[in-house]
Amino acid sequence: MKHTTILFLRRTNTILLAMKKRGFGVDKWNGAGGKVEPNETYEQAAIRECEEELGVTPYNLKKLGELHFFDLPDTEHYCHVYVTVDWKGNPHETEEMRPQWFHTSDIPFDQMWPDDKFWMPLLLAGKYFKGVAVIENNTVKENTIHEVVSL
């Protein structure tokens, strides 16, 4: 099992998503993120991945979610989901991702991971959540995402 992070940059009524250009998740909109390196905290990993993938340094991260993903047949990862409204620099395209701001009422769920539509509304509302998602052939086979009081 891989331990991973996802970080979303927010402004009033908008969220920054980025089109993955290569590797796992290619051609899907998502936040910046990836696997946690040895001796690195989840928050440190989220910051590093955001710097590498979007060219900005986030701070004042707020952890809103924990998700246990299975992308059958052979991918399993436990993901910590963060959001922030504070960062240094301007998001820009890198070799890995092409960022774009979306209004919160216009999220391109049809071009994202199929489980995102279940937990993204909780993230956009600033609510804490936990869950499990099982995906096979880009279809959600199991989904138990729910709001929690805290993490």
- pLDDT above 90 (res 71): no
- Mean pLDDT (whole number) for 97-124: 96
Which residues neighbour 136 within 8 Å (Cβ) at sequence distance 6 or greater? 71, 72, 73
Do the beta carbons of residue 146 and residue 129 sit within 8 Å? yes
Q: What is the domain count for the chain?
A: 1
Which domain does 62 fall in, by range? 2-148
pLDDT at 75: 86
8 pLDDT more than 90: yes
CATH of the domain at 113: 3.90.79.10
Average pLDDT of span 91-120: 96
Distance CA 55, CA 24 (A): 20
Give per-residue pLDDT as tens, 17-29: 999 999 888 999 9
> Cα(37)–Cα(34) distance, rounded to whole angstroms?
9
Look up the pTM and report it: 0.94
Measured between alpha carbons, how far is 23 from 2 in angstroms, rounded to an integer?
A: 15
- Give bridge partners of residue 147 from the DSSP assignment: 129
Please check whether residue 52 is in contact with residue 96, taking contact to mean a CB–CB distance below 8 angstroms: yes
Summarize the confidence of residues 82-108 as an average pLDDT.
Answer: 97
Report the percent of the chain where pLDDT is more than 70. 100
